[in-house]
């Protein structure tokens, strides 16, 4: 059976404890937790620095039999100081996370390589795998860009997060994954969207609130799931402004049902 996780961004208005409960009630066996808000994103409930909340999260994960699969979302920008991110990595490890999601948005390639290398080393010391996510509205836009960056950094252990929407909107296709080591793809973000690619200026808004549940759009999701390892964690990340009025629990249940239906067609 595939490991199904609920990405925090699908129910970003849920605090960490409500996120865990929504995932467990829906049937997910894992969650992703946002510890760092990306630039321009809405504020989140602070977890780093709140020891009581960290204890409560660990207890809730254990009580609900839900695993913390990953934490997000570190953006490497010109202003990044890796030393300032160490508390995030330490909290992620203490909560039991296995991966940390990172994006690169610095036009100075040498500085980006240096900062990503430092971050990969710090994450590895905490037992975390960096999953580099490419986004078509950042400096690391495509699957090829992400692989080229990792080739320059040469980390001991890092992978590439493939988001179904970003793969499509960057001009890629699931067949592109066959060019690379499948071991890179241990985490996938699953969602759907219309097959037609919107204007570049609209890509970020679509990613943050215009996604559909798996099976509701025209993305080649079956081909993507065929292309990744069977033991990859499949995290449903489908924030939708149209569904924002529903409680997090209802959105989580709909996300699980849609994803389970898709996986059943694959025999998983």
The rounded distance, in Å, linking the Cα atoms of 246 and 238 is 14
In this structure, the number of other CB atoms found within 10 A of the CB of residue 24 comes to: 20
Using alpha carbons, select from 54, 158, 57 the residue that is nearest to residue 99: 158
- 1-15, 77-91, 122-136, 206-220: which range is least confident on average? 1-15
Over range 205-221, report the average pLDDT: 96
- Confidence grade of residue 137 (pLDDT, cut at 50, 70, 90): very high
- Confidence grade of residue 177 (pLDDT, cut at 50, 70, 90): very high
Can you give the pLDDT at residue 194? 97
The rounded distance, in Å, linking the Cα atoms of 161 and 163 is 6
Angle (CA) 257 166 182, round 5°? 80
- Confidence grade of residue 1 (pLDDT, cut at 50, 70, 90): low
- SS3 for 166? helix
Render pLDDT for 5-23 as a digit per residue (tens, 0 to 9). 999 999 999 999 999 999 9
User: Average pLDDT over the chain, rounded to whole?
Assistant: 96
Rg (CA), the chain: 17
CA distances from 41 to 204, 207, 218 (A): 11, 12, 27
The pairing of strands 30-34 and 67-76 is parallel
In this structure, the number of other CB atoms found within 10 A of the CB of residue 173 comes to: 13
Can you give the pLDDT at residue 192? 98
Can you give the pLDDT at residue 163? 98
Residue with the two structure tokens 């996938």: 188
Render pLDDT for 222-265 as a digit per residue (tens, 0 to 9). 999 999 999 999 999 999 988 888 999 999 999 999 999 999 98
- Confidence grade of residue 40 (pLDDT, cut at 50, 70, 90): confident
Considering the entire predicted model, what is its pTM?
Answer: 0.96
The rounded distance, in Å, linking the Cα atoms of 200 and 106 is 19
Residues 6+ apart with CB under 8 A from 60: 16, 17, 20, 21, 66
The rounded distance, in Å, linking the Cα atoms of 163 and 174 is 11
Over range 74-97, report the average pLDDT: 98
- Confidence grade of residue 64 (pLDDT, cut at 50, 70, 90): very high
The rounded distance, in Å, linking the Cα atoms of 184 and 167 is 15
Render pLDDT for 106-115 as a digit per residue (tens, 0 to 9). 999 999 999 9
Contact by Cβ (8 Å): 155, 124: yes
Contact by Cβ (8 Å): 212, 193: yes
80 Cα distance to chain centroid: 20
Can you give the pLDDT at residue 196? 96
The rounded distance, in Å, linking the Cα atoms of 103 and 72 is 10
Can you give the pLDDT at residue 267? 80
* 255 token code pair: 């996300």
């Amino acid at each position: 059976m595939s490991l199904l996780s609920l990405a925090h961004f699908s129910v970003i208005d849920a605090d960490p404890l409500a996120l865990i409960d929504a995932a467990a009630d829906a049937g997910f066996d894992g969650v992703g937790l946002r510890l760092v808000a990306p630039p321009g994103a809405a504020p989140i409930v602070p977890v780093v620095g709140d020891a009581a909340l960290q204890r409560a999260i660990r207890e809730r994960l254990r009580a609900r039999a839900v695993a913390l699969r990953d934490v997000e979302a570190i953006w490497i920008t010109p202003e990044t100081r890796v030393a300032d991110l160490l508390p995030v990595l330490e909290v992620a490890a203490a909560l039991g996370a296995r991966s940390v999601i990172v994006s690169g948005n610095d036009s100075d390639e040498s500085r980006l390589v240096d900062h990503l290398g430092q971050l990969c080393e710090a994450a590895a010391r905490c037992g975390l795998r960096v999953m580099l996510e490419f986004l078509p509205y950042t400096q690391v836009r495509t699957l090829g860009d992400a692989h080229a960056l990792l080739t320059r950094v040469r980390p001991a252990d890092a992978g590439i997060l493939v988001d179904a929407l970003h793969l499509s909107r960057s001009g890629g296709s699931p067949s592109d994954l066959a060019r690379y080591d499948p071991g890179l793809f241990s985490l996938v973000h699953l969602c759907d969207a219309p097959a037609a690619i919107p204007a570049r200026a609209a890509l970020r808004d679509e990613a943050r609130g215009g996604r559909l549940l798996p099976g509701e759009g025209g993305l080649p999701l079956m081909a993507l799931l065929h292309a990744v390892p069977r033991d990859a964690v499949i995290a449903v990340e489908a924030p939708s402004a149209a569904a924002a009025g529903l409680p997090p629990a209802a959105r989580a249940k709909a996300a699980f049902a849609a994803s389970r239906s898709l996986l059943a067609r694959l025999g998983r």
